[in-house]
Structure 1
């Protein structure tokens, strides 16, 4: 779905630059929309969002649905510099898709692997080197779903560095017939807990964007201040009514899981979803008080990935659920309550 949006954006740009004879395309008009349902769920999402999650509401309910040609530009594959996001967490992706590295006492865990071996080598690995990480220390590659933009570089990392690849059982089943997929190593199951060195990961199957999608919860720290992060495999809205209900059910399930775990950090496979496209610049310009920053308390600016308000992460999931219902109503789909 994201690549369809990117293609639309490129076509849109071509139309604008194609000369006087080119016709400017129109935004979607949704002729089959159930307007009362759109209004109900759109405004319910707005109320849930309040001020703290307003940007997520705008993105998921309006921008990506009504203006997909513009939303796609936020996922264009531009190169972005790598950055250390938390004490032991690093971002090494590109504009269209994120890849992350978690540093543990037993080696490095790479989360997702970009589109192909070339990007894994020239973007992911090169980014690690720029940040002072040794690619030879990669011990595991976690694939959060089976889409090509998540798994494309995994085989390269597996063969080059001997990394063990982890994915859910449905993801492995889908990858069995995928060209260039890694060899199966470790199967992850719903509710599984895996400890790698000094970091414990809790995995929850969250099908929706794909059948094998999973979400990982693990601790991070900001200048020594402990937080709890949830890395979601992707929150795109499925096309079919059945897919939308699967996504909504997964969001409700993970709301309960994330609340019990105390999740207060949003991370995603896409920079437009966790707002990395804004967060990186905020991190680079995060101001410290006059004393040298030794803890999170020494910064006058908050960490952009931390959802500081109580229950803010769960409200974020509720917004995505309501926006999924908005998308259904815009397209004339009636979902069970």
Structure 2
């Protein structure tokens, strides 16, 4: 895996050259996307190494904050460029991708090696309840828009900011719950994570990894600029709608390293950690990243609300429903993984053939 990451680093200078020399939007889009994948991986590695030094509480908060930093950076760049509908599609795609694609592959490949794999059902059910709240919160502004006449954009924007603040508070409460008051429910996953880190390095150099994190974050911002600037023209020439790109491609690019981690640990029979990565990432997108984007859009004058395309909400609700159903018993097998992947493929084809709507150019 490390060799692949190092090989993919070559796309960073290639994307810079493509941007400077004007090699075309398709080349810039593809090379920037490939360049972000190893950067996201190194961001995750740096965060984990720093967490080992600063201790479990601060380290857990650091991991929670930087868990979806790559996606947040890409979304903020897109928001700054006025691609609000693409940002919304990316939020949808991230939730769907983590619950169906990541957890699906983890259960499928882990299930091929081990007949039955077990994980903490109580934590899974708590995550499921939090995801249900997130779906309701994302649904409400759209429901208000579609069931009322004469509701202005400013009203929906204000409602979205209020909902965003509530979701961020809930996210904070989930962190307190998982790291403080009920940390024992998550002990298995944390122990697995620590053992994974100990295998690689006993005493990390704090200054080195802080430097790596800063450099990588800067490079992610640069590559995200290239990716977003070339997105509309590139997707049009490649025959892809911006909706499909936002829901399917961008989340895979931003989350590729995290996906690989969840699948790798599942194949080592550490399904607790794998489910924690997949469901935890979805929760962070819904309860933290989406609200932060709403508030950021309000601050910078790019109105970003939670009034989603109804089909996107249907896709998220379907994903949460089947993921919660499969994870509720605390056991998994290869067939359940296959069911999650089949659902993802069905939704993927639906988004591919979904007609382009206004604002998704």
Q: TM-score range by the shorter chain?
A: under 0.3
TM norm structure 2: 0.23
Bigger RCO (CA 8 Å, 6+ sep): 2
TM norm structure 1: 0.24
Q: Which has the higher strand share?
A: 1
Q: Which has the higher helix share?
A: 2
